[in-house]
Structure 1
Amino acid sequence: MDGSRSRVLDWIDAYEQAWRTPGTDGLADVFTADARYAQGPYAQPVVGLPAIAVMWEAERASAAEPFTMTNEIVAVDGDTAVVRVEVHYAEPEPHEYRDLWVIRLASDGRCREFEEWPISPPNQGLMSD
C-alpha cells in the first residue's frame, strides 16, 4: 500500500458514507473480513465484519441521524494513518465528539485495524471510558 493521504481521505469518505447508509452491507467496502475495531484505547476490539455490523447498528440512532463531520490527517506512515475527526450531531440532543482515529489499511484500501479515541466536552456528560 502506498500510504498516501489521498487513500486515507478516500477511506474516510467511504466510512462516512457507510455510516450515512441504512444497513451494514457497505461495511465490506470499508473493512476487511477479519478487521479489528476498537472503540477506545483500552476497549476490547470488535473482530470481524459480522461483529462490527452488530456494533455499528447498536451505536447509531439511524443512518439518517443529522451530523456534520470534519477531519484532518495528522500523520501517514506506510499503511498507518492518524486522523483528527470532529463530529457534531444535531438531534435528538445536540452533542459532539473530537476523535483521534488510528487506521491501518490493507493493500486494497480497506481498513484492517481501526482504533478510535472519542472525547466529548466535559459539560456534555458523554466522556468516553
Structure 2
Amino acid sequence: MAEPKSWIEGYVRAWNSNDPDDIAALFTSDAVYYTEPYSSPWQGREEIVSQWLGRQDKPGEATFEWHPVTMRDEVSVIQGVTTYPDKTYSNLWVIRFVPDGRCREFTEWWMRHDLK
C-alpha cells in the first residue's frame, strides 16, 4: 500500500521550494492533475511543473494540516486545511499512486472559508 505521508511531505516541500525537480519527483511522466471539478486536468509531468510554477505561492506563505480519510492500495483520500495570512481553505485530495509511491492522478477540491 502506498503511504501518503511521505508523498504529502514531498508535496509541501515542493510547495515551499517551487523547485521544478521537487515538483517533478512527485508525479509519473503521464500523470494527470485536476485542479478543480469539471475542468481539464494538467496532463503529464512537464505540464504539471509548468502550471504549478505559473501559480506558485511564496515559500513559507501557507501552512497545511491534514489527516487521511481513507487509504487503499493505490489511492488515498486526504482532508486538509491550508492557511495563508489572509485566508483559509478546506481541501479534499484524491491521490492515486503507482507502486513506487509517485502519483499518477491527483485531484484537489478546495473551498475558501467564509470571512465573517
Q: TM-score scaled by structure 2?
A: 0.92
Match of 2:84 in 1: 89
Match of 1:121 in 2: 113
Matched positions, count: 116
Runs of 4+ in structure 1 over 2 Å off? none
Q: What CA distance in whole angstroms lies between the structure 2 residues aligned with 1:59 and 1:122? A: 23
Same amino acid, percent of matched pairs: 32
Q: Secondary structure at the match of 2:69?
A: strand
1:2-25: CA deviation from partner (whole Å, max 9, x where unpaired): 23xxx1111110110011113312
Does the aligned pair in 1 maintain the 2:75–2:94 contact within 8 Å? Answer: yes
Match of 1:34 in 2: 30
| Paired AA for residue 58 in structure 1 | G
Q: What CA distance in whole angstroms lies between the structure 2 residues aligned with 1:121 and 1:67? A: 15
1:55-113: CA deviation from partner (whole Å, max 9, x where unpaired): 10122233x242111001000122011000111012xxx11111100000111101000
Q: What CA distance in whole angstroms lies between the structure 2 residues aligned with 1:81 and 1:21? A: 24
Show the 5 A alignment for 1:41-60. 41-60=37-56
Query: 5+ residue gaps in structure 2?
Result: none
Does the aligned pair in 2 maintain the 1:69–1:88 contact within 8 Å? Answer: yes
Does the aligned pair in 1 maintain the 2:93–2:108 contact within 8 Å? Answer: yes
1:70 aligns with 2:70: no
Q: What CA distance in whole angstroms lies between the structure 1 residues aligned with 2:30 and 2:88? A: 30
